[in-house]
């Protein structure tokens, strides 16, 4: 998403400066879900001829373009935009469709039909880019399109990013050249060692750089990094309150309470993740994959209800908190403004309709932290393993939080045992539970597990886990991705099959 947004901006900027660039049209696909769903449920659309179906699908895109232009105060450009797309007489058009993975699986065939109709009908659209998470894409999903995976940062690009970051800090007067030079060397060194995988992700490298600038060192584990990142972003909110006169006392107290603020964010992330997972289950049949990757945001009304439950039913404080974060960068981002009547005559305020986390990683991490709360945390994991693969990353991050940040390996041991019980796996959910257990076992390592003397735990658990991991690739319950993850865990824990791997004593 970041890449195509940058591409869109550069194309538009080039046009403004008289350069020969295509006119970019940027569409956030999840904003089409409601319209696609209405078409899918319409008897008239289902019974329409191919030509009429195509017209309605094209109208869907035109309506979305017009709506966005109207939001930006450029409604008068709508006709020209559609005209350019149709004919291409005034230059080529680049269409960017962001977030195919955020469309429910039952609606994806309809969206793909709409994309193909657009390409066939609009001669001016000479280039189309569709973004999708790799995990949600499969070969041939978009006939006629070339599948390309966005490359991770190379060592050279990481080094260039770090250098550019600290040279900018130096230029802004935030540090002298000596400190900038030292920070560049230190961060480049850290990013090229055990944090190489994290540093290759542009978003995470940015987070690493912010933390390095503040802490002068970086943690070794991703959950330690995410924990510090959340702390950095919360402090942005807290520092902002000092710049506001007459801040309501209840809001001032909330923003000053880091622990309370963190628990609220974890609850909101968990609720957002649960909502997205539930929407996937509702749309999918029992024998179909759930809608992994759908990023359904939290509606303002739903968010207020959740906040009130955390704020002793204080509706005013919940509204004040949302109004405060609307104007500040942080861990919740408002999207899609709607005008609301203000207290002064004729006055209006622009309120976001929905909220989401700036990157799914933060939502998954905070949701995983929330899963660890309370004595019944194991039940929470067992419940979510039964709800599908959508919870996988959140669950793993939750286990890593227990192990690295909470320093509670026994809690992870109990969790791993519960996910791979003595009873034999029979269902898809049982086998997915085995995979989760194996991935948590890799955190602990064989020595730690084998040393545990809990009944049906320790070496007894390892024996049944490894046996099931060997069996798992021959079952048809799980996706290829999940089976591959099971194989990776088996390799890390030690494949017991004769002739596989190398024994330590050989």
Residue at token pair 């596989």:
500
Instruction: Compute the radius of gyration of the chain from its Cα atoms.
Output: 25
In the sheet that holds 125-130, the strands lie side by side as 23-28, 93-98, 125-130
CA contacts within 13 A on the Cβ side of 52 = 7
Give the per-residue pLDDT at 89.
Answer: 74
Residues 41 and 106 in one domain: yes
Residue 185 lies in a domain: yes
Give the C-alpha separation, 218 to 215, whole Å: 7
Q: Are residues 232 and 280 in the same domain?
A: no
CB 487 within 8 A of CB 438: no
User: Has residue 353 been placed in a domain?
Assistant: yes
Q: Which residues of 47-56 are buried (b: 16+ CB within 10 A; e: fewer)?
A: eeeeeebbeb
Residue 433 lies in a domain: yes
Q: How many CB atoms lie within 10 A of CB 464?
A: 18
On whether both 202 and 266 belong to a single domain, the answer is: no
42 assigned to some structural domain: yes
The answer to whether residue 184 is domain-embedded is yes
DSSP structure string for 48-84: S-HHHHHHHHHHHHHHHHHHHHHHTT-GGGHHHHHHH
Q: Does one domain contain both 235 and 261? A: no
Residues 6+ apart with CB under 8 A from 228: 211, 215, 219
Same domain for 215 and 272? Answer: no
Q: Is 368 helix (H, G, I), strand (E, B) or coil?
A: helix
Asked whether residue 375 is assigned to any structural domain, the reply reads no
Q: Which ranges constitute the DSSP H helices of 192-337?
A: 196-199, 202-215, 222-240, 249-256, 258-283, 300-310, 315-326
Boundaries of domain holding 199: 155-242
Question: Of 242, 258, 289, which closes a domain?
Answer: 242
| Domain-ending residue, one of 207, 242, 277 | 242
Per-residue pLDDT, 502: 55
Same domain, 198 and 287: no
Q: Closest Cα partner for 449 from 405, 406, 403?
A: 403
% helix, strand, coil for the chain, step of 5 = 65, 10, 30
Beta bridge partners of 28: 98
Beta strands 23-28 and 93-98, pairing class? parallel
Residues 6+ apart with CB under 8 A from 189: none
Q: Strands of 298-299's sheet, edge to edge? A: 298-299, 348-356, 333-341
Q: What is the pLDDT along the chain (506 residues), one digit of tens a residue?
A: 888 999 999 999 998 888 888 899 999 998 898 899 999 999 999 888 988 999 999 999 999 999 889 888 888 998 888 888 888 777 789 999 998 877 877 888 899 999 999 888 898 899 999 998 765 666 667 888 898 888 889 999 999 999 999 999 999 999 999 999 999 998 988 887 767 877 888 877 888 898 888 876 778 788 998 899 898 888 877 776 666 667 788 988 988 899 999 999 999 999 989 988 876 555 544 334 444 444 567 888 888 999 998 898 899 999 888 878 765 656 787 765 443 444 333 333 456 777 888 778 889 999 999 999 999 999 999 999 988 788 999 999 999 999 999 999 999 999 999 999 999 999 999 999 999 999 999 999 999 999 999 999 999 999 999 999 999 988 878 888 899 999 999 999 999 988 776 555 54
Q: Are residues 354 and 230 in the same domain?
A: no
The answer to the question of residue 130 being in a domain is: yes
452 found inside a domain: yes
Q: Would you give the DSSP letter of residue 154?
A: P
One domain, residues 236 and 298 = no
| Model pLDDT for residues 359-410, shown as the tens digit of each residue | 788 899 999 999 999 999 999 999 999 887 889 999 999 999 999 999 999 9
Domain end residue (candidates: 108, 136, 164): 136
| pLDDT given at position 134 | 66
CA angle 391, 393, 399 (to 5 degrees): 100
If asked whether residues 75 and 169 sit together in one domain, one would say no
Do 412 and 480 reside in the same domain of the chain? yes
- Return the pLDDT at 504: 56
How many domains is the chain partitioned into structurally? 4
Please indicate, yes or no, whether residues 447 and 357 belong to a single structural domain of this protein.
Answer: no
Task: Check whether residue 412 and residue 321 sit in a common domain.
Answer: no
Half-sphere exposure in the Cβ direction for 105 (13 Å, CA): 19
∠ CA(501), CA(503), CA(505), 5° rounding? 160
Q: How many Å apart are CA 86 and CA 263, to the nearest integer?
A: 51
């Amino acid at each position: 998403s970041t890449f195509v947004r940058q591409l869109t901006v550069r194309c538009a900027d080039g046009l403004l400066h008289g350069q020969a660039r295509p006119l970019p049209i940027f569409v956030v696909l999840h904003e089409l879900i409601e319209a696609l769903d209405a078409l899918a449920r319409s008897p008239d659309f289902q019974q329409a001829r191919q030509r009429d179906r195509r017209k309605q699908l094209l109208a869907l895109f035109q309506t979305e373009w017009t709506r966005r232009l109207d939001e930006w105060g450029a409604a008068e450009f709508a006709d020209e935009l559609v005209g350019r797309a149709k004919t291409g007489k005034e230059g080529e058009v680049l269409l960017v469709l962001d977030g195919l993975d955020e469309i429910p699986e039952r609606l994806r065939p309809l969206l793909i039909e709409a994309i193909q109709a657009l390409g066939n009908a609009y001669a001016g659209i000479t280039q189309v880019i569709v973004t999708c998470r790799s995990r949600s894409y499969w070969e041939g999903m978009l006939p006629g399109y070339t599948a390309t995976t966005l490359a991770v940062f190379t060592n050279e690009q990481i080094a260039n990013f770090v250098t550019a970051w600290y040279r900018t800090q130096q230029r802004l007067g935030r540090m002298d050249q000596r400190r900038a030079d030292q920070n560049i060397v230190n961060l480049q060194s850290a990013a090229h060692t055990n944090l190489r995988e994290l540093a290759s992700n542009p978003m995470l490298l940015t987070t690493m750089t912010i933390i390095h600038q503040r802490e002068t060192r970086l943690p070794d584990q991703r959950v330690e990094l995410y924990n510090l990142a959340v702390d950095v972003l919360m402090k942005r909110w807290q520092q902002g309150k000092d710049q506001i006169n007459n801040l309501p006392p209840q809001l001032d107290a909330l923003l000053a309470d880091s622990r309370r603020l963190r628990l609220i964010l974890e609850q909101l992330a968990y609720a957002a993740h649960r909502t997205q997972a539930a929407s996937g289950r509702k749309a999918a049949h029992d024998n179909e994959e759930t809608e992994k990757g759908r990023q359904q945001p939290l509606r303002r009304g739903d968010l207020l209800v959740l906040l009130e439950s955390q704020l002793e039913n204080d509706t005013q404080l919940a509204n004040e908190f949302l109004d405060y974060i609307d104007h500040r960068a942080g861990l919740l981002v408002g999207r899609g403004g709607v005008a609301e009547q203000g207290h002064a005559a004729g006055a209006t305020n622009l309120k976001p309709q929905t909220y989401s986390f700036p990157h799914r990683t933060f939502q998954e991490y905070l949701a995983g932290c929330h899963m660890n709360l309370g004595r019944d945390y194991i039940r929470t994991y067992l419940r979510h393993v039964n709800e599908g693969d959508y919870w996988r990353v959140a669950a793993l991050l939750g286990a890593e939080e227990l192990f690295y940040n909470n320093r509670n390996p026994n809690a992870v041991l109990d969790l791993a045992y519960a996910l791979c019980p003595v009873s034999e796996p029979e269902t898809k959910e049982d086998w997915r539970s085995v995979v989760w257990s194996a991935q948590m076992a890799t955190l602990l390592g064989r020595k730690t597990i084998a040393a545990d003397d809990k009944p049906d735990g320790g070496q007894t658990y390892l024996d049944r886990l490894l046996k099931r991991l060997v069996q798992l690739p021959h079952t048809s319950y799980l996706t290829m991705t999940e089976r591959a993850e099971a194989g990776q865990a088996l390799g890390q824990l030690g494949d017991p099959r004769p002739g596989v791997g190398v024994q330590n004593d050989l």
